Chain A
Amino acid sequence: VGESRTILEPQPLVKHQFDDLEQQQDADTLGMWTFLGTEVLFFGAMICGYLVYRRLYFTAWHLGSTVVNNFRWLGISSGAWNTAVLLSSSLTVALGVRAAKLGQRRLLLFMLAITWILGAAFLGIKAAEYTHEYFEGVVPGNIVFHPDSEVSTDLAKAAGSEQDAGLVGQFRLFWVFYFFMTGTHALHMIVGLGLFAFLFIQAWRRKYTPQKHEQVEIMGLYWHFVDLVWIFIFPLFYLVK
């Protein structure tokens, strides 16, 4: 009888280790901010490394940014489109958190779905861009560029004018930074899509109330952070030439 009663008891809002709901929400938020602090260190180190090498190997970095910017749609680089997509997804996340606070379940579901679609659109654009770069031969490793490709011609011109034998190696280093930084960012986006799918299912099952929706808030923080990282990656790779 005791076991049956335990199973039938509704799940308490406050877990046993917390005094009240506010303390529990504060702990959840602090945990996410601590995690995001480690992420700042991770991405910050990569961005610093990128800037240092840009200073040292300016010609290779200039060529690399030119190739990155070659992939355009309606005359605008894919990076700019992706930035617009992510900024829009930040708006839908913020509106979703607001809907959760107000107990507007339908609006929350709608905003979570739109956020997921925008995240998937970002990854789709990135995948198209990676495919383009793969066929240009600009991937890390000892890849031999196609002799007729635009990249090969640009490299030959730059190497000839500057008598820089190490230019190809420096150019490859640029692509290591490019794929590692944008790749880890894309990995964070994939994790985010999984988290938002989870949030959608939980919202569908009516798990969130105006009193208890901290999962939506802290996942929103995560999403905003991943957007913010892109806001720094975007000018470094797509705008600076």
Chain B
Amino acid sequence: MMPASQKVDKISLYLVIYVTLMVLLVATVAASEFNLGDGNVMIALVIAVA
């Protein structure tokens, strides 16, 4: 039996995660263009944690 560390995922999973992260990056940069005071910190960190 293959050990857990040897588990190989499909390439499509990696690509979906990559595209999601890039979309979140664009969302973060777009959110920073609006002046929300301390709200900008919250939005940026919430997206970073997500």
Contact = CB atoms under 8 A, between A and B. Distances in A.
A235 B22 CA distance: 14
Interface string A202-236: 00000000100000010000000000000110111
B44 A239 contact: yes
Given A25-B5, A98-B14, A232-B48, A239 B32 contact: yes
Given A235-B28, A235-B44, A240-B40, A98 B11 contact: yes
Given A98-B8, A98-B11, A239 B22 contact: no
Interface of B: 3, 5-6, 8-9, 11, 14-15, 17-18, 21-22, 25, 28-29, 31-32, 35, 40-41, 44-45, 47-48
A80 B44 contact: no
Contacts of B14: 91, 94-95, 98
Given A80-B25, A95-B11, A98-B11, A241 B35 contact: yes
21 contacts: A25-B3, A26-B5, A51-B41, A80-B29, A84-B25, A90-B18, A91-B15, A91-B18, A95-B14, A98-B8, A98-B9, A101-B6, A210-B6, A232-B48, A236-B41, A239-B29, A239-B32, A240-B32, A240-B40, A240-B41, A241-B35
Contacts of B25: 80, 83-84, 87
Nearest to A214: B5
Contact of B40 (A77, A91, A98, A241): A241
Nearest to A21: B3
Contact of A239 (B5, B17, B28): B28
What is the predominant secondary structure among interface residues of chain A facing chain B?
helix
A235 B41 CA distance: 8
Contact of B44 (A98, A101, A240): A240
A164 interface: no
Contacts of A77: 29
A102 interface: yes
A95 B15 CA distance: 10
A22 interface: yes
Interface in A17-50: 22, 25-26, 29
A76 B29 contact: yes
A231 B8 contact: no
Contacts of A232: 45, 48
Contacts of B5: 22, 25-26, 29, 217
